[in-house]
Amino acid sequence: MLQASTPSSASSWDQLSAQRGELSNLDIQCAICGRYHLTQDHQKYMADMPQEPAALIDDLVKMRFYKPEAIAMADAISQAELRTALFVKMASQGNPKRERLVIELIRAAGGLDEAFAAAFGPRSGEFFSDVQHTGQFTRRKFLRNIAVGAALVTLANCAARPDLPEASDGDVTTGTGAPEKTDLKIAFLPITCATPIIMSNPLGFYQKYGLDVTLVKYAGWSVVRDAVIAGELDASHMLAPMPIAMSLGLGSTAFSTKLASIENNNGQGIAVAKKHLGKINGPADFKGMTIGIPYDYSNHNLLLRYYLATGGVDPDKDVKLLILPPPDAIAKMKSAQIDAFILPDNFTQRVVRDDIGFIHLLTKDLWPGHPCCAFTASQAWIDEHPNTFRVLNQAIIDGATYANKPENRKEIAAAIAPREYLNQPVDVLEAVMTGKFEDGQGNTLDVPDRIYFDPYPWKSFSTWISTQLVRWDYMSAEQANYGDIGEDIFMTNLARELAMELGVEAPTEVTRLETLKFDTLDPSDAATYIENQKKKYGV
């Protein structure tokens, strides 16, 4: 709060407002804070300005920006929440989109006080010197909070230029205008995991957003990765771990790639050749087998390893893991080249239909709600096409939301079945989509969440993936700054904003406890999670 000996808040602000009005006519804008005064006068200009959110709000109340009824909110919420609520009300100026932007900026910084402390706090310079030694991600967070604090002040400044662009939501894209291009090429693999990307073409979601999309079918993930790096695509269907691997340079040259939204949850399974029927009761029974996986950097590989290890099976010594393009899986099982595979459910269901195998388990039984595939784009492409990226991501989220409704699943199965897409029998796809299926062991099952489509990219997904990449030596412990990997690669804040614009509810949190079959990941203590796994299972 301002002391009694200081000039009155209202008079200080009146003088400053007058000063801003005079200077704005001269078109002089401070390079430090963006207000209208000489840059060299910044410290003098700021001297009478409240330096803390509480003092700022108190001054605004004194200046009658808020009616007494608004202060009654203090009876229901904390002082910190009140300050934030009042600031949001003032800065948004009654504009819902602007309000969402202010809320997202505050959330990106971890709170209103954090944003102001980074940008204007008396020890911000000292803090920055400390964090310079802790790595790029931490510096980026600090610099982002400086930007957030400055953006919040700019939004709250009624004298700010109306033609200045609005700040971003904390993720990397700021695009809000017309798409830079509308003719797009998007990669996909012929699996049910790609449902939102595929169905958005025949069901008109791309057209709804003014986009003309050509879907390009690929057989394997390494080819998709190479096409993205070569700039042959605008965006891509990818396995959820792939943007992490690509951005960190695991298995290839580092190439910054963003995970914009999740395409599917669950929807995978472990299928076993019919000759093993009645012999497989748990993970220990897979010892000595050849098992197909789609890619090293896949949740299929990581979940399979997680499962095998609980049965005392070392996935690097006791089984042979064979990377194979998903479309080849059926032929390889028919010809006895593999004993089992872990792949999307259109293939696990196909072995039952073709009477060559059975479904041992669904991956939802290992990690309920786990992500499989995602909608992604390279950072370079996003930077060049921010408006297109935003529109395209929203079309995908819109399509995923439609696919998530059970009543739409049969329609979608028919839409993605044709040769140019999945090239699968409709009854196989309906079994996956509806969760009503035969498992090849004589059981008829009804599992409504066998697959579903929640596009929200929880950053704790990234944490679990990263822990397993470290556990199985795909990534060094030194690279595993778990929270920062999710912060830098998973575009959770943008996905929430786009969902809100569609009128779709989205979580306000970015992480959660991830409960698996054999343990629970607390994303705030990822290193301990790995150590506990190694101690319990020996690998």
pTM value surpassing 0.75: no
Closest Cα partner for 342 from 306, 317, 311, 376? 306
Check pLDDT > 60 for residue 432.
Answer: yes
Q: Is residue 142 part of a domain?
A: yes
> For residues 50 and 2, what is the distance between their CA atoms, to the nearest angstrom?
7
Backbone angles phi, psi at 178, to 5 degrees: -70, 145
Whether residue 259 lies inside any domain: the answer is yes
- Between 11-15, 206-210, 357-361, 413-417, the lowest mean confidence (pLDDT) is in 11-15
Could you give the CA distance from residue 304 to residue 301 in angstroms, rounded to a whole number? Answer: 5
Would you say residue 229 lies in a domain?
Answer: yes
Asked if 249 and 229 count as a contact pair (C-beta separation under 8 A), the reply is no
The pLDDT tens digits of the residues spanning 359-406 come to: 999 999 999 999 999 999 999 999 999 999 999 999 999 999 999 999
Burial class of 268 by CB neighbour count within 10 A (0 to 12, 13 to 18, 19+): buried
Whole-angstrom distance, CA of residue 92 vs CA of residue 90: 6
314 and 392 co-located in one domain? no
144 and 291 housed in the same domain = no
Q: Find the helix or strand (DSSP H, E) in which 15 lies.
A: helix 9-26
| CA gap 383, 94 in Å, rounded | 30
Same domain for 33 and 49, yes or no, is yes
Q: Is residue 453 part of a domain?
A: yes
Contacts of 61 (CB under 8 A, 6+ apart): 71, 86
**284 and 223: one domain?**
no
| CA–CA dist 40, 31 (Å, integer) | 9
> Which helix (DSSP H) or strand (DSSP E) does residue 526 occupy?
helix 526-537
For residue 51, pLDDT beyond 70: no
Query: Domain containing 221 — which CATH number?
Result: 3.40.190.10
**Among 224, 265, 269, 216, which Cα is nearest to 242's?**
224
Is the same domain home to 418 and 527? yes
Which of 128-132, 166-170, 492-496 has the highest mean predicted lDDT (pLDDT)? Answer: 492-496
- Residues 258 and 344 both lie in one domain: no
Q: Which two tokens stand for residue 504?
A: 């779709």
Q: Which domain holds residue 533?
A: 183-266+371-459+466-537
Shared domain for 29 and 128, answered yes or no, is: yes
pLDDT at site 197: 98
Residue 344: its H or E element? strand 340-344
Rg, C-alpha atoms of the chain: 27
Rounded CA-CA distance 419/425 in Å is 10
Residue 338 sits at φ, ψ, to 5 deg, of: -135, 150
What pLDDT digit, counting tens, does each position of 273-310 carry?
999 999 999 999 999 999 999 999 999 999 999 999 99
